Amino acid sequence: AGPRGNTVSNVEVNGELPNGKRVQQVTLRTLGGAQSQTVSSRTEQGRVYFTVPYLHTYILAILELA
């Protein structure tokens, strides 16, 4: 279960990848970097798709490319 309060859940994110690149891992970091979480992703037609389980204020998504 995620944090309670003013949060949004299941935020769908997608973005264009540089030509020839693929995503090895997506890591989410919370405010201040105190917590991190790896989430699954998929790639279709040069775009990466993943879901942020919950969001409060902001989160940093780190995409490791290959």
> Tell me, what's the pLDDT at 56?
83
> For the whole model, what pTM was predicted?
0.84
**In whole angstroms, what separates CA 25 from the centre of its chain?**
9
> Tell me, what's the pLDDT at 8?
92
* pLDDT, the chain, mean: 90
Provide the percentage of residues in the chain whose pLDDT is more than 90.
Answer: 73
CA–CA gap between residue 44 and residue 13 (Å, rounded): 13
Give tens-digit pLDDT for 7-65: 899 999 999 999 999 999 999 998 776 789 999 999 999 999 999 999 888 899 999 99
Residues 6+ apart with CB under 8 A from 34: none
Q: Which DSSP symbol is given to 32?
A: G
CB of 46 within 8 A of CB of 2? no
